Amino acid sequence: MKIKMRSLAASPYRVLEPGKTYNLPRDEAQELIAGGYAVLDVDAVKVERIPPQPDPEDIESAVDEDDNPAESIEE
């Protein structure tokens, strides 16, 4: 998960500098975000466009009520 650091975070193993973007495991990134030390890197987030959905009235008008096979079955 890509995050952008808001403040310095340092450990014996690494230093995460403010203003820089890092790709971290989801659990580590979420902890830093929850603590206010980082924010989600919005430039790295993929936005997927959802195609427009058909109007329900158009769907109903496309289905002919006389074509219901359940009604044409005789017992």
Q: How does pLDDT run across 18-71, given as a tens digit for each residue?
A: 999 999 999 999 999 999 999 998 877 666 777 887 777 766 665 555 555 555
Cα separation values, 69 from 35, 36, 62, 75, Å: 60, 60, 16, 13
The whole-number pLDDT of residue 60 equals: 61
The whole-number pLDDT of residue 54 equals: 75
The whole-number pLDDT of residue 49 equals: 77
Here the tokens at position 21 are 């973007």
Return the sign of the alpha-carbon dihedral for residues 41, 24, 36, 27. positive
| Domains of the chain and CATH, by start | 1-46 (3.40.5)
For residue 9, pLDDT over 70 is answered with yes
